[in-house]
A and B are shown apart, each in its own frame.
Chain A
Amino acid sequence: DAMVIQNPRYQVTQFGKPVTLSCSQTLNHNVMYWYQQKSSQAPKLLFHYYDKDFNNEADTPDNFQSRRPNTSFCFLDIRSPGLGDAAMYLCATTLTGFGNEKLFFGSGTQLSVL
């Protein structure tokens, strides 16, 4: 029944070693979001895709990239992870991206940087 699936649940990487997090959805939603959530903080939007259109938040570091090869899948690439990038990364979807839609979140990937 899982609708937004994130893999892996936990990811450990080394300082500066590229890492990719994945998200898939079975809802056929047009919009996919990536949020970064640090301990005891609110989810912070990094970017989102409306279909194939990429929308980057102004304060998202260049170190973070994203790919959406098809409707179902979206990837978050961290090119050179730093210690400050250790966080929970949440993928979410909505059908059309209008502000009155609820977000469907995946279970998240907890990233550790050693």
Chain B
Amino acid sequence: GQQVMQIPQYQHVQEGEDFTTYCNSSTTLSNIQWYKQRPGGHPVFLIQLVKSGEVKKQKRLTFQFGEAKKNSSLHITATQTTDVGTYFCAGTSGNTPLVFGKGTRLSVIA
């Protein structure tokens, strides 16, 4: 079945440093979504990427979808303490439920 791998599992950064998490799929994806889960909270949708090579920005967050539509990344510039949480990618190859990666837990040291 479809698998979505995500690395790293944990990332500790000093406030102001950059952060990147990477996502790889075993199959070509029709789209990929990114979610953020704060400690003790539930996943909240951030963004969806659909097109090959697509790049989208949300303030300090930059999302990329690979040319082959099998990988994606989330980059945060100049992290802040409010960025703390676990970031999940989730993808699908068609009209099937999303498959989640294991997530990257981000800690930001002030």
Interface of B is mostly: loop
- B96 neighbours in A (Cβ, 8 Å): 99
Q: Is the CB of B97 within 8 A of A102?
A: no
Q: Is the CB of A103 within 8 A of B95?
A: no
**Chain A stretch 78-111: residues in CB contact (< 8 A) with chain B:** 90, 97-100, 102-108
**Chain B stretch 30-65: residues in CB contact (< 8 A) with chain A:** 30-31, 33, 35, 41-45, 48, 50
Known pairs A42-B101, A103-B45; list 14 more (Cβ under 8 Å).
A41-B103, A42-B88, A43-B43, A44-B100, A48-B97, A99-B30, A99-B31, A99-B95, A99-B97, A100-B48, A103-B43, A103-B98, A105-B44, A107-B41
Chain B contact residues, CB within 8 Å of chain A = 30-31, 33, 35, 41-45, 48, 50, 88, 90, 92-98, 100-103, 105
Chain A contact residues, CB within 8 Å of chain B = 33, 40-45, 48, 90, 97-100, 102-108
